[in-house]
Amino acid sequence: MARAAYVSDLKGLQAECSINYLRLSRLVGELSPGETREIALRGREQRFGSLWLELVEEAPYTSRLRVSQSGIMDAFVEPPRMLVHLYHDVRMAEVTDFQRQRHFHGRYRYPNARMHQPDEKLQINRFLGEWLEHALAHGHSLDLPELN
């Protein structure tokens, strides 16, 4: 039986990028280029790490934001980090660099040499969304109004 070719979910990707823009706007606040915001992440009873947001560059229509995490597992696993481009004119945020890998395609043949999933770009942007949603639900920043 022949496998059907993967069809990119462009609407899903655009929706994820749009909601991530709103999430990041809420978390970033009024940062200036070079400034960093730390958001303490808590579980039920204890702090387990921090989400770091650094505004790398800002232009009239775009900004670049470095998103990373530090915490109790840093000695055992490489903490997640990514570079996110914010497109202010269309109000979208797109992951352009994840764990030092750049330029993700909208669709990959599978299997492939790097073992990317067919919808790798969508999955990375969904991961950012889940990460930010967790920060909004369980994070605390001293220089921002309550996140919840």
Higher pLDDT, 41 or 125: 125
| 31 conformational bin, left if phi > 0, alpha if psi -120 to 50, beta if neither | beta
- What pTM does this model have? 0.80
Residue 24 pLDDT > 80: yes
How far is residue 82's CA from residue 36's CA, in Å, rounded to a whole number? 14
For 38-86, the pLDDT digits (tens) are: 998 877 777 778 999 999 999 999 999 999 988 877 778 788 889 999 9
